[in-house]
């Protein structure tokens, strides 16, 4: 078991209002995997993804952009742009459905294309314990 982690959690310092807990993989929220293509100039800057997400968040305040779980990000050269594959929570999925899966970005409307099957958060981001 992860008893050692359970004993460490109370000693960890978190940001204000945050709480930590050890849970099994079945207790994690499900997300819907979706893709988004953002055309235009793209540079191979390490901060490029954060810039794109800040723009998405600023132009779409009803979405919880900070909660998107990025599975994949690629900066393409031909055609130029960003390809994102990420997980959307159920609340944001419903918000997007009401907007025909359209989101604003740099004076244009882009379509987020959800996959039909639900996916779990990236397992490589999770602590694995075969006993859980």
- How many H-runs (helices) and E-runs (strands) does the chain carry? 3, 6
Selected residue with higher pLDDT from 3 and 83 = 83
The pLDDT score that the predictor gives to residue 47 is 66
Sign for the CA dihedral angle at 27, 127, 121, 119 comes to negative
Q: Give the predicted TM-score (pTM) of the model.
A: 0.65
pLDDT of 130 > 50? The answer is no
Specify the range with the lowest mean pLDDT, choosing from 33-37, 71-75, 104-108, 115-119.
115-119
CA-nearest of 9, 31, 30 to 127 is 9
Phi, psi dihedral angles at 79 (to 5 degrees): -75, 160
Task: Report domain extents, the chain.
Answer: 29-118
Say which CATH architecture domain 29-118 belongs to. Answer: 2-Layer Sandwich (3.30)
Separation of alpha carbons 81 and 21, rounded Å: 38
The answer for residues whose C-beta is within 8 angstroms of residue 69's C-beta and 6 or more apart is 31, 86, 87, 121, 122, 125
């Amino acid at each position: 078991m992860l008893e050692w982690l359970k004993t460490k959690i109370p000693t960890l310092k978190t940001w204000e209002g945050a709480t930590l807990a050890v849970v099994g993989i079945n207790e994690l929220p499900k997300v819907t995997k979706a893709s988004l293509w953002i055309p235009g100039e793209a540079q191979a800057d390490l901060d490029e993804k954060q810039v794109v997400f800040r723009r998405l968040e600023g132009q779409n305040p009803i979405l919880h952009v900070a909660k998107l779980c990025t599975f994949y990000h690629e900066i393409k050269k031909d055609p130029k742009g960003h390809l994102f594959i990420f997980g959307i929570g159920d609340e944001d999925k419903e918000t997007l459905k009401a907007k025909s899966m359209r989101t604003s970005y740099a004076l244009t409307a882009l379509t987020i294309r959800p996959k039909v099957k639900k996916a779990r958060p990236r397992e490589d981001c999770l602590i694995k314990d075969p006993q859980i």
